[in-house]
Chain A
Amino acid sequence: MTIPDQAQITVDPWATRVGLFRRRQDRVIAGVGGGLADRLGVGDVYVRAAFATLATMWGLGIVIYVVLWRLTLDVEDDRPPRPIDSRQRIGLTLAFIGGLWILTGMGLVLDGFATAVVFTLSFGTAALWDRSESPSLARIILPDGGGGRSVVRLIGGMVLVIGGLGLLFSSVSAVSQLGFTLLAVAVTVAGLVLAFGPWMYRMAQDLGQERRERVRQEERAEVAAHLHDSVLQTLALIQRSEDPRKMASLARSQERELRGWLYGRAPVPGEDLLSTALEGAVAKVEDERHVAIDLVKVGDATLDDRGRALVGAATEALINAAQHSGAARISIFLEVDGETADVWVTDQGKGFDQKTVPPDRRGLADSVFGRMSRHGGSAAVESRPGEGTEVHLAMPGVKAIGIQL
């Protein structure tokens, strides 16, 4: 139990001093009964039954409940919340108030008879519904009985419930006109529901719990398997690697893969995307050339021959930049706007004079310009010594997907 913060405690030193709190979880109305049960070490159902019984005596139970409510504080606990949701809570409370109201209407409240009915019914159901491990009525009767305890609880509960129901129905003159058979059926059905309801409820609950647990375990296994195959393997490789460039490149490729797994779209079979193809090309160049490439993409298109040509040309431009620019980082930007896909490959490296293209840069002209023009696209290179290089590729007639700029 954690004690709530100081400011609240000053309100009610007595209840706190004797260790009485309201339960926040597993409660029916405000958690007063549950808190009292925790303090006394008895099952909460019995405390609730006692409150219900006392309520029939000039409303004493209600008064005590409200007074204790005012005197106590909520307490945090880390037990899993029992699925009594607010609807059930309101239902239970309304049912009790309704029951009292009916008894009042029949002129039964405030005499010993109503108290007897409520007492037998509430303690009977309490015995049947008792799921706690705390000392129960049955444990007091059978101090060390294992299975016997629940049998006693069951029988005792049923006797009390059926007795209570019989008492209630027999007292109502209107019911006696319906005939004895009907009365007996009603008592039996009510008794059976009360006796086996908890058991069926528990079964359903355990089943749901089991299913949730299984799903969670499967998810955990999947994550573990993935991390083992990728991240742990890479970390092992990094530890064995002595080349810092290799290490950085391993880290980057692992980062990319993990990102794809965490944030990426699941691939749709039969639908290749331009952006996915470009990502693959970027990854390949990064791994082979040990260079960092920043890919930014806006919009997307389905991958056709034109798209493949564009990716091929972009790959050549990236390899060129990695080989000749001397820059540690290359930027690549893909934008699909309407029917045109544009790619810019930019580096902030040493650049070159476009009038005197060195022979080793022939690759750029052949593979980039050639690929683009064969498919109706265009390419332009802009570079100045000392100011980096930018290659702009434009491919018209692509099939854009999604809403466009």
Chain B
Amino acid sequence: MTRLFLVDDHQLFLAGVKAELEGKAEIVGVASDVDEAITEIRRTRPDVVLIDVHMPGGGGLAVIGALTETNPEIKFLALSVSDAAEDVIAMIRAGARGYVTKTISADDLAEAIDRIKAGDAVFSPRLAGFVLDAFAGGLPVPIDVELDQLTAREREVLRLIARGFAYKQVASRLNLSVKTVETHVSAVLRKLQLSNRHELARWASDRKIV
């Protein structure tokens, strides 16, 4: 079972997720603020951290920023009610391997967590839309258009995800294996994360995200 850590400043939501994932993941700890999250995650060393984008004290970005340096083996899945594309993209660029909205069903969430643990990326339709927008220059996100261009296939995969298809359905529509779809999605993730870290930090602080 996946060793899971939950970070969210809403107690009600924490309790809900805990109950829903009963028997689907081993919850090794919860935290409701940035400092507590950093200390406890270092101590419990979970496989996957389910983390809220918006929290007092710097938000999920601060937690991911502090832990990717010291504990690169820990994987993050961002979860939010936020619709601000910039915030979500910032989490992905900082190192989160996926993004889902809080309205996700328990089964889908459990599947996403397992996928993250296996090292894959989890793209919800909304995230796929944000990413397509970001690479098209439609978002105020610093992407080097010269270096970080998506291939036609990657764009095709993202479009199908944005249309609401699961990875398996995307694979069968494009006559690919699920593994290949996962490879394409991971490649997109890498391209998002490639850019200069300093540039991202400056951009995030300009926008008061951190």
Contacts and interface: CB of A to CB of B under 8 A. Distances in A.
Interface of A: 255, 259, 262-263, 292, 294, 296-300, 329, 331, 333, 335, 344, 346, 348, 390, 402-405
Given A335-B159, A346-B164, A346-B165, A298 B83 contact: no
B126 interface: yes
B125 interface: yes
Contact of A331 (B81, B82, B125, B155): B125
B163 A344 contact: yes
A348 B138 CA distance: 30
Nearest to A330: B164
Interface string B106-133: 0000000000000000000110110011
A403 B132 CA distance: 12
A296 B162 contact: yes
A293 to B, nearest CB: 10
A404 B82 CA distance: 24
A298 B132 contact: yes
Interface in B140-185: 155, 159, 162-165
Nearest to A401: B138
B159 A333 contact: yes
A247 to B, nearest CB: 14
B57 interface: no
A298 B131 CA distance: 9
Contacts of B84: 263
Interface residues of B, number: 21
Interface in B35-93: 81-84
Contacts, number: 57
B160 to A, nearest CB: 9
A403 B136 contact: yes
Contacts of A263: 82-84
Contacts of A296: 125-126, 128-129, 162-163
Given A299-B138, A403-B138, 19 more contacts: A263-B83, A296-B126, A296-B129, A296-B162, A296-B163, A298-B133, A329-B164, A331-B164, A333-B129, A333-B162, A333-B163, A335-B162, A346-B165, A390-B163, A402-B137, A402-B138, A403-B137, A405-B136, A405-B155
B83 A259 contact: yes
B125 A294 contact: yes
A348 B137 CA distance: 31
A298 B136 contact: yes
Contacts of A299: 133, 136, 138
Given A263-B84, A403-B136, A404-B136, A297 B129 contact: yes
Contacts of A403: 136-138
Interface string B6-50: 000000000000000000000000000000000000000000000
B165 A405 contact: no
Given A296-B128, A405-B136, A333 B164 contact: yes
Contacts of B128: 296
A300 B84 CA distance: 17
A298 B129 contact: yes
Contacts of B125: 294, 296, 331, 333
Contacts of B137: 402-403
A390 B159 CA distance: 14
Contacts of B132: 298, 335, 405
Contacts of B83: 259, 262-263
Most chain B beta-carbon contacts within 10 A, residue among A292, A298, A404: A298
A300 B133 CA distance: 10
A348 B164 CA distance: 9
Contacts of A259: 83
Contacts of A333: 125, 129, 159, 162-164
